[in-house]
Amino acid sequence: MTLRLFDTATRKQRDFVPVRAGAASMYVCGATVQGLPHIGHVRSGLNYDVLRRWLAHDGLDVTLVRNVTDIDDKILRKAADAGRPWWEWAATHERAFQAAYDALGCLPPSIEPRATGHVPQMVELMERLVERGHAYEAGGDVYFSVRSFPPYGELSHQKVDDVAQGEGESGCKRDPLDFTLWKAAKPGEPSWPTPWDRGRPGWHLECSAMATAYLGPQFDIHGGGLDLVFPHHENERAQSNAAGDPFANYWLHNAWVTMGGEKMSKSLGNTLSIDALLGRVRGVELRYYLVGPHYRSAIEYSDAALEESVAAYRRIESFVHRVRERIGTPEPGVACADFVAAMDDDLGTPGALAAIHGTVREGNIALEAGDRAAASGAAASVRAMTGVLGLDPLDPRWIAGDGASDAATGALTVLVDDLLAQRQEARSRRDFAAADEVRDRLTAAGVSVEDSPDGPTWSLKDV
């Protein structure tokens, strides 16, 4: 393989060499199901979905584990404030996240484990840490002893004396640097038995236990958002390595979606829900917007940027549909060299999209010149490349949609693209009166048409 990935631990790109030949193993930190998902939440899922697709395109058998944190302080507090059972609150929002992933075309993970279903594995991990002198019980809690693990801080590139766990004060800790593995039960809270006391898991413990339960003590890639580097991933790495597990070979982190320069978060009140955006654009168009920038680059949300993405995707879509109408349905072909080079360079999706649009331009030229073989070949290549990004215009998901709204939009796309094909044919015959008539019909129906070097694009006037 020629794939190179930027590893947070080494701060450089490294050749991707899987632990097991012919396979790739990935663990991605999924949702903490405390509330409804926004685009900042799902960006991570989309980025690692693209990585998973690219690894599979290279012929690897990919195992993807994406967890669900269904028990933590915020879930308990918000459920209590709403007067609802904690488990029902978590399950409700887990379904909302799943619906968002589905609406944006994420492939289902190989397994999606919940924290509450893996307490025995967590207890076993704590026992190993206690036996090795890296953890201790105090006041019913169990803590990891940070100073017992000299490499602590190497993932986040911090000196150990400069870190703060953000857990608040605790009179039971031997050292303020230590972090909580297990929380002693409080009245009215859910709890599970351990050799020390009843309680519930700390945030960091669960991911180490679930990752190794499904991927083994050593696996290829651990992914998540940039905000998880510290303390979450630093602590995962420390407790796993201290217990004797090599754990992840590569650490990947995607950047945030921001508004006004700040990370999108519920606490700041600057969120954009998936449902709200899907009321304005299709799932495939929102996916294009979120996977287009490089995964390590922040996305500063704006309506204008979203609209530009919609127009850009429709240029791709329009070309593929015109080829289908004029020549026949193109089967996915071979990705062009520029696309492969971009994707192998740390998943360079901006360069990959540039390669797609370049192929679309060449295909449009061939289509207008009557070169059916070249146009069909370009469309086949476009399908292969967009398929890797989860954006194939002829994917049944995007044509039929999962609901009435998407189905209607898909049908509208086919009809408008057919009219645009008729308009292009009229223009090629220099029958400009007929071409203008088609454009006028579309304008009267609320469809705005713009001509570009990539071919005509359209949008609804209220988008």
- Give DSSP secondary structure letters for 273-310: BHHHHHTTS-HHHHHHHHHSS-TTS-EE--HHHHHHHH
Q: In 3-state terms, what secondary structure has residue 77?
A: helix
Q: Give the pLDDT of residue 404.
A: 41
For the chain, what's the residue count?
Answer: 463
Pairing of strands 218-225, 247-254: parallel
Q: Is the pTM of this model over 0.85?
A: yes
Q: Which residues of the chain have pLDDT under 70?
A: 1, 170, 266-270, 400-411, 413-414, 452-455, 459-463
State the amino acid at position 287 in one-letter form.
R
pLDDT at residue 463, as a whole number: 42
Contact 239, 247 (CB under 8 A): no
Helix-strand-coil split of the chain, %, nearest 5: 50, 15, 35
As a whole number of angstroms, the distance between CA 383 and CA 324 comes to 12
Question: pLDDT by residue (tens digit) across 80-105?
Answer: 999 999 999 999 999 999 999 999 99
pLDDT for residue 268: 59
User: Sheet harboring 199-201: ordered strands across?
Assistant: 135-138, 141-144, 179-184, 199-201
Positions of CATH 3.40.50.620 in the chain: 4-268
What SS3 class is residue 57? helix
- Cα 235-236-237 angle, rounded to 5 deg: 90
Choose among 162, 170, 36, 31: nearest CA to 109.
31
Q: Are 96 and 36 in contact (CB under 8 A)?
A: yes
Class of the 4-268 domain? Answer: alpha beta
Question: Which burial class, exposed, middle or buried, applies to 279 when counting CB atoms under 10 A from its CB (0-12, 13-18, 19+)?
Answer: exposed
Per-residue pLDDT tens digits for 290-328? 999 999 999 999 999 999 999 999 999 999 999 999 999
Q: Which of 138, 151, 120 is nearest to 130 (CA)?
A: 138
What pLDDT score was predicted for residue 408? 56
